Amino acid sequence: MPSIRDTLTTWRATLWVLAREWRSGVLLLLLVGPVLAYIGFGTIWLYERGWIIPAVVGWIAAGGLFAILAARWTTSTRTVLPPLDWDAPRTFSPLDREAWRLVEEEALAAEALPMEAMIDGERYVDVGRILLQKLAVHYHPDSKHPLDDVPVVELLGALELAAEDLARLTRQIPGGDIVTLSHWRRAMQVANYFNKANDLYALVSPFLNPLSGLTRIGTRELIVKPAWKNMQQNILRWFFQAYVNRLGAHLIELFSGRLAIGVDEYRRLTRRRPMAAKMADPDEPLTVAVAGARGSGKSRLIQVARDLFQGDDRTVRARLEGMGLDPTAIDRLKNVKFVEVAGYTTNGSDDRESRTDRSSRDSAVSASVDADMLMLTIDGGKGLLPADLAFAKAWDGYYLQHPHREAPPALVVVTGVDRAELGPGWQPPYDWGSGQGAREAAVRNLMDSLRASLPPTFTEYAAAGLDDATPFGVVEHVLPAFAAQLHRAERSNLLRRLQAAAGRSKVRRVMGQIGEQGRNVWTHLKNRRKASKSG
């Protein structure tokens, strides 16, 4: 609590300012005077009727509740302020996620900043410069001047996108997008004036009414003032961290090369609609690579999946909707492009593989890594072959060796579960997860062994019997398992397209721009010629 001498000194300074700015003093008196009069008359009225003690208790309770809610609602995850998304964006690769940790660390440093530092414009410039340097070193650790190769236009594009996102966030707070640092300083000055006036009133009020006066001092100093200060700090801290969040996200997009396609194209691909419901463009459908050993049933699996949506597919749609799939997911499944990967050879033993085996497996891996999803078929009659395990490890290892790429989802489909060696008779339907039949138990045991042997990247499993007469499992198990991974496949599709566009050579990009401008000039000339003829 401030001393009497300090309070009188600050009050004298406040009166001197008001005397010099007498117009401001008149306006302040007209604004605050009636409120103070009502408080005084109300206190007298409560005292005369014996209600002063309940009123004081209610005042203390309201102040305490204000302090608790103000502190929690401006810092909790369900805050009254717009939430900041600290999950790694969908387009980020493993290397980008490591960079995202640097951004989070810079944002967390704001927790220790005083309020005065967060209304200093130089602080924002310095943090932006530090963040740019840290990310440049992260992406180009061997370069002495990591910023020298960053195109200026792409850097400005990253700043433009960050400003656009930040404006969208702050507009969720009424007037948030027009608040300046000077507004914050003035608000703090006005708040200080009110605090000084309240300090003087708190010193005088015990003489007017000892009970309410002492209570007011305690409530104000112990509850209201700390809570108000914390709320101000939390709002400023939110804005500062929002600035770091949006700037860092787009600087990562810059250094990853994904902004090389230009701001307009980047917006078109990433901001057309919410990413959770985003579908691939009709001219760029999701690509599913169906890989496996020769004779594992790849062709038959693709044929059955394609035939389901040929012609009148209302029956299939009704069955999928009955399993809980929404219509939009069914439409996305219908537009999937299945690509059969040439099967790798296998010697069927644990002996050292031949050059032909290794070559066929490497070719299958190369043909699979550019797809949006991998569907690995394993012959249930033969079980997991050494070649299957080698392919899975090589496919998984490719993404470990290329940290800028993220592994797309993988679905393991056990085929041939209709064979006689897995159980007597083929009489679908079957419940591979909890069924008690001999065939169901055998398939379940096989899936457990696959989960224990294959790399952890392969998390989803399904089984299908592709008998010519009564195929079972594609609608019932494969497509629902596939639908559960659609969001990851779409993310992989978007990331692949961004990287492909950013990976184009600079010569091709320049030549493309020259060609586009040439077409525009030619179109303009033709339009002028037509206009002159018609005139």
186-216 per-position pLDDT tens digit: 655 555 554 555 555 555 554 445 444 445 5
Predicted pLDDT of residue 211: 45
Average pLDDT estimate for 65-71 = 63
Residue 425 corresponds to which tokens in the numbers above?
A: 């008779």
Which residues have a Cβ under 8 Å from the Cβ of 379 and sit 6 or more positions away?
292, 293, 295, 296, 297, 385, 415, 416
- Residue 366 burial (CB count, 10 A): 13
Q: State residue 341's pLDDT score.
A: 93
The reported pLDDT for the residue numbered 278 is: 39
Query: Is pLDDT at 280 greater than 50 in this prediction?
Result: no
- Give pLDDT, residue 409: 92
Residue 166: per-residue pLDDT: 82
pLDDT at 428 over 90: no
* Average pLDDT rounded to a whole number, residues 227-255: 80
Most confident by average pLDDT, 53-57, 228-232, 392-396, 489-493: 392-396
Cβ-contact 359, 306 below 8 angstroms = no
Least confident of 172-176, 212-216, 261-265, 501-505: 212-216
Instruction: Say if residue 281's pLDDT is above 70.
Output: no
Higher pLDDT, 236 or 103: 103
Write out the E strands in 67-225. Answer: none
CA 231 to chain centre: 26
Higher pLDDT, residue 41 or 397 = 397
Q: Is the pLDDT of residue 251 over 70?
A: yes
Q: What pLDDT is stored for residue 503 in this prediction?
A: 61
**Which structure tokens are listed for 484?**
């559960």
Which token pair is 321?
């909707």
Neighbours of 342 (CB within 10 A): 12
Nearest Cα residue to 110 out of 139, 135, 147, 84: 84
Percentage of the chain exceeding pLDDT 90: 15
| pLDDT over 80 at 24, yes or no | no
pLDDT number for residue 44: 81
| Model confidence at 238: pLDDT above 90 | no
Q: CA 287, CA 408: separation in Å to the nearest integer?
A: 11
Whether pLDDT at 416 is above 80 = yes
pLDDT digits (tens, 9 = 90+) for 307-338: 888 777 788 888 888 888 878 888 888 888 99
Quote the mean pLDDT of the chain.
76
Asked whether the beta carbons of 373 and 408 are under 8 A apart, the reply is yes
Ranges 137-141, 257-261, 439-443, 519-523: which has the least confidence: 519-523
Query: Is residue 88 helix, strand or coil?
Result: coil
pLDDT in tens, 79-115: 456 667 777 776 677 888 889 999 999 888 877 777 7
Q: Please tell me which residue, 377 or 113, carries the higher pLDDT value.
A: 377
Q: What is the largest CA-CA distance in the chain?
A: 103
Alpha-carbon gap, residue 443 to 416, rounded angstroms: 10
> In this predicted model, which residue has the larger pLDDT, 27 or 340?
340
- Amino acid at position 62, single letter: A
429: cis peptide before it, omega within 30°?
A: yes
- Residue 128: which residues within 8 A CB-CB, separation 6 or more? 247
Mean pLDDT to the nearest integer, 342-371: 80
**52-61, 63-72, 204-213, 331-340: which has the minimum mean pLDDT?**
204-213
Residue 272 pLDDT: 47
413 SS3 class: strand
- Residue 18 or residue 287, greater confidence: 287
Question: Could you give the CA distance from residue 125 to residue 63 in angstroms, rounded to a whole number?
Answer: 38
Confidence of residue 340 (pLDDT cuts 50, 70, 90): very high
| Paired tokens of 480 | 């629902």
